[in-house]
Chains A and B, each alone.
Chain A
Amino acid sequence: MLATIRYQLAIALTIAASVSVGAQAPVNIRLATLAPDNSPWTSALRSMGTSWEKATDRRVRLTVYAGTIPSESSAIARMAVDGLQAATLMVAGLAEIDEAFNVFGIPFFFESDAELAYVEQKLTPLIQERLRAKHYHLVNWGNAGWIQLFSKKPIRTLEDVKQAKLYTTEGNPKMVQWYTANGFHAVPLSAGEIPKQLTLPTGAINAAPMPPVYAVALQIFKDAPNMLDVRVAPLVGATVMTDAAWNKISPEDRAKLAAAAMAMEQQINALAPELDAKSVAAMKTAGLQIVTLDTKAVAEFRAAAEGLGASQRGAMIPADAFDLAVRERGAFRKANPAK
């Protein structure tokens, strides 16, 4: 009896499968991001989804879940069980899939948008290959501006950074250990604690790296009114899709998807500097002091930071990705010497 039921079920499923192949059943992509609803990033993702539907005659549909996942780790786990098929993640989440993404989190490694874009482009084939080994496909990049250092007292040297009680995320013990090993006073906390800890005179931190847009939203500048004019790191994000979903899409449709994804990437990358500038201007009006270093101090700062970056090679960043990033950054700087 049981065997008969199973047999009938198998036939029914086979028929269902063949019908769906014949009718080219739509591929539904559920994509999650920590970016809140109504943010420029989410709008861009939704308009990319509309483009995908139009370009493929609704053979590929995208549903964006914005700000509804508890963490990027959660989105990655749900992709592994096919509960989600794609996610737009920042460096911390991306590095959970592959540590090569940690290149973009090295403090003081990149100087400009142009340099970042150049190195990102050169790293893409390597990262795509590493992702393939982990059953993911890189859909596009998206840079959301730069992380800046906000502090209670002005910070002028790397030594000042080391003396500061520096916020760091508590979800990454390796990073905390790296900070401590290199002489920093990093304090692991949940992000929600930052405003309170900066407000209290005996708070656990007195400096916090964060993008200007968050600093405005959280009113951080009221308690930490100094911003170092040396960028800490770019806020790099990327959209990844599971191979299982990507492979369901025909090669012709994949090309259409890639074109729309590239358009989104360009749109986001163009938007970020403008958002950063607006946020900094708003905070300056409200009393934020920008701590500008002279050229010599910047050079010293960067030289000291260089050694710190190298200490992540092998331990936190795969050597091939780190070496390629250093090489390509050098090539860019050679071709575009600082003025």
Chain B
Amino acid sequence: MTEDLVAALAAIGIMVLPLAEVVLRRFFNTGVPGAAPFTSHLTLVVGLIGASIAAREGKLLALATGTMVPEGRPRHLAGILAAFVAALVTTILALGGVRLLQVHYAAGKEIALGVPTWAADLTFPIAFGLIALRLVWKSSPSMIGRALAALGIVAGAWMSTHPELLLDQSGWPWIAILVGAAILGMPIYALIGGAAVILFLVQGDSPANAIIGSYDQLTSTDLPAIPLFTLAGFLLAEGRASDRLLRLFRAFFGWAPGGTAVVTTILCAFFTLLTGGSGVTILALGGLLMPALIADGYSERFSLGLLTAAGSLGLLFPPSLPLILYGIVAEVPIGDLFIGGFLPGTLMLGALAALGVREGLVNGSARRPFTLHEAIGATWSAKWELLLPVVIVVSLLAGATTVQSAALAALFTLVVQRFIHRDLATFGDLRRAMSRSIALVGGILVILAVAVGLTTYLIDAQVPARLAEWAKENIHSKWVFLLGLNAFLIVVGGMMDIFSAIIVVVPLIVPIAMHFQVHPIHLGIIFIANSELGYLTPPVGENLFVASYRFNKPILELARAMLPMYVILLIGVLLITYLPWLTTGLLK
């Protein structure tokens, strides 16, 4: 399909351009003219076309609550209603994209080498237009249902061309409608993007203001690292890397009490640090690790809880995507976040592994004797996977930027999986893996894009400044602030996905944290550590949702199974918050 091809070519561009730039610059002093701006704009294309592919595949992220609507007529009606509101919002976003295109066209803005910026801007109306049409099409099996949902497109176009309709009205009824539609299953991007455009409209501003924020976000310098690392993680997950790594970790840790549980936590952390905790870990490893745990004598309940909770580990280790995004949004060095996150990440990993050891001891779970032969064999078999973190760290230390290092990681994984292991036996396999990866990236990036629109509004309304003023007047202790922050972030983590939480919430808390002299890197690590819990907190806690889908268990059962892990991770989060040296120690 054309859009898959366009997105795949753009993804290859993101991979090749930064590497070509660094090689040609270092060895021939030529570089690739405009490599960075072209890479940024190709990321915009990958993100938005990826979102439209996600819409086609029905993979746009939505609240778990949509699946709780009773099947039959209620769910049918809920689907139509949610699609109506989503189509309305998406049409406003598409027309906002047209306005952005006009602005860049009038200014004669270029990406580089005479290529006009409006060429990339075209992706906004095309992708959002396709998404709106697909949401309408998928809303109902009947043409009447689809026609009703399609009225959302008409309403969106009407509101865009008659902005005075909403001027000076209260935004709250609209926000209530958006939240209601999201509960019924409307994609999260439409909830956040809808809030942004409605709030701009009621204060008399064009929704294009939100899209300008989206454009800035999607073309920001370090953002290409997110699709690149996701692609690397996804290509690993698609192949048999998980088998090889399981064998490796078992060879080294299988002798210990709770060995398989420990291996599970390490393996999950390893996958999550590459995939950003986007649910890929549970999807990729669940099928492999669940039977392994059960076979080694762990109870089903413990195994479910461990796999659900361990899916969020790894967010504090490099090159975790949330750490990268935090660095971009809070404007702090990403390298410092990587270093600062190491001890806290190890603490969280150790805490969960300790729980596994305890379970192993109590249940007398199976253990495997350590043999040098198997250790060497397993290491040799997993040598390429083990080289991946080495490639990333060495390239960063040699002076590569985050994006260049991510590009190298993606290319390395692609070559290993396609040509060395041949896990992706044909180019067809590779193409399908890339398409799925791009849909996943698109699902995330479209949320990031619209979340910036909402942040732009909040800044316009001076919300961060007012919040900071309020905190200065009413909170008098750094420790009270941190406790409040913990509670706030856990609630936020339970209601928003991690990426939009970073974009919307970080600008709100940074000024307050500065007032209380919280170290900026410590704040970042507190934020991400709390988000690890957020992944497990109902109702949106993504791991609950994904694990429920993967293991075919009700969310409530998973939540119960995961409770001991939740408590131990909560203790970890509190330690990370109140012992700043855990973060800042290595930085010094």
Contacts and interface: CB of A to CB of B under 8 A. Distances in A.
A173 interface: yes
Given A96-B109, A204-B22, 19 more contacts: A9-B164, A30-B460, A63-B462, A68-B459, A73-B216, A74-B213, A77-B104, A77-B212, A80-B103, A81-B99, A81-B103, A83-B460, A170-B36, A171-B36, A173-B112, A195-B333, A196-B333, A200-B399, A202-B397
B33 interface: yes
A96 B107 contact: yes
A263 interface: no
A121 interface: no
Contacts of A185: 29
A188 B25 CA distance: 10
B582 to A, nearest CB: 23
Contacts of A30: 460
Interface string B350-361: 000000000000
Given A74-B216, A78-B212, A81-B209, A171 B333 contact: no
A192 B398 contact: no
A203 B404 CA distance: 13
A83 B461 CA distance: 12
Nearest to B200: A83
Nearest to A204: B399
A191 to B, nearest CB: 9
Contacts of B164: 9, 13
A67 B44 CA distance: 24
Contact of A204 (B25, B217, B397, B459): B25
14 contacts: A74-B212, A78-B209, A78-B212, A81-B205, A81-B212, A83-B208, A170-B37, A176-B31, A188-B36, A200-B397, A202-B398, A203-B399, A204-B26, A204-B399
Contacts of B31: 176, 180, 187-188
Most buried by B among A65, A77, A83, A188: A77
Interface in A56-103: 63, 65, 68, 70-71, 73-74, 76-78, 80-83, 96-97
A50 interface: no
Contacts of B22: 204
A173 B37 contact: yes
Nearest to B34: A173
Interface of A: 9, 13, 30, 63, 65, 68, 70-71, 73-74, 76-78, 80-83, 96-97, 170-171, 173-174, 176-177, 180, 185, 187-190, 192-193, 195-197, 200, 202-204
Contacts of A204: 22, 25-26, 399, 401
A39 to B, nearest CB: 14
Given A65-B459, A82-B206, A197 B212 contact: no
A173 B32 CA distance: 10
B112 to A, nearest CB: 4
B1 interface: no
Nearest to A83: B209
A177 B106 CA distance: 24
Contacts of B65: none
Contacts of B399: 197, 200, 202-204
B381 interface: no
B71 interface: no
Contacts of A65: 459-460
A187 B401 CA distance: 12
A9 B164 CA distance: 9
A82 B215 CA distance: 17
Given A82-B206, A203-B399, A77 B100 contact: yes
A176 B335 contact: no
For the complex of A and B, the 7 pairs showing the least CB-CB separation, nearest first, are: A173-B112, A170-B36, A83-B209, A190-B221, A173-B34, A80-B103, A70-B216
Given A176-B33, A180-B31, A204-B399, A190 B205 contact: no
A192 B331 contact: yes
Given A77-B212, A180-B29, A83 B331 contact: no
A318 B214 CA distance: 32
A203 B400 CA distance: 8
Contacts of A174: 112
B4 interface: no
Contacts of A173: 33-34, 37, 112-113
Contact of A171 (B37, B217, B462): B37
A77 B219 CA distance: 14
B346 interface: no
B516 to A, nearest CB: 16
Interface string B184-206: 00000000000000001000011
Given A189-B401, A197-B399, A82 B221 contact: no
Contacts of B221: 170, 190, 192
Contacts of A76: 107
A13 B109 CA distance: 35
B30 interface: yes
A338 to B, nearest CB: 35
Nearest to B204: A82
A197 to B, nearest CB: 6
B401 A190 contact: yes
Interface in B456-499: 459-460, 462, 464
B532 interface: no
A76 B215 CA distance: 13
A200 B405 CA distance: 15
A142 B434 CA distance: 50
A74 B460 CA distance: 14
B222 interface: yes
Interface in B433-467: 459-460, 462, 464
A212 B207 CA distance: 40
Contacts of A97: 107
Contact of A82 (B26, B107, B205, B334): B205
Interface in B87-144: 99-100, 103-104, 106-107, 109, 112-113
Interface string B18-52: 00001001100111011111000000000000000
A337 B106 CA distance: 44
A58 B34 CA distance: 46
Nearest to A5: B165
Nearest to A197: B399
A202 B400 CA distance: 9
Contacts of A193: 401
A2 to B, nearest CB: 11
A68 B462 CA distance: 10
Contacts of B36: 170-171, 188, 190
Contact of A83 (B33, B212, B333): B212
Nearest to B402: A193
A202 to B, nearest CB: 5
A49 to B, nearest CB: 14
Contacts of B217: 70
B34 A83 contact: no
A81 B113 contact: no
Contacts of A176: 31, 33
A170 B216 CA distance: 15
A83 B205 contact: yes
Interface in B216-233: 216-217, 220-222
A63 B106 CA distance: 27
Contacts of A81: 99, 103, 205-206, 208-209, 212
Contact of B103 (A77, A171, A192): A77
B18 to A, nearest CB: 11
B95 to A, nearest CB: 12
Contacts of A188: 31, 35-36
A73 to B, nearest CB: 8
A63 B459 CA distance: 12
A74 B212 CA distance: 7
A261 to B, nearest CB: 23
Nearest to A71: B216
Contacts of A74: 212-213, 215-216
Contacts of B208: 81, 83
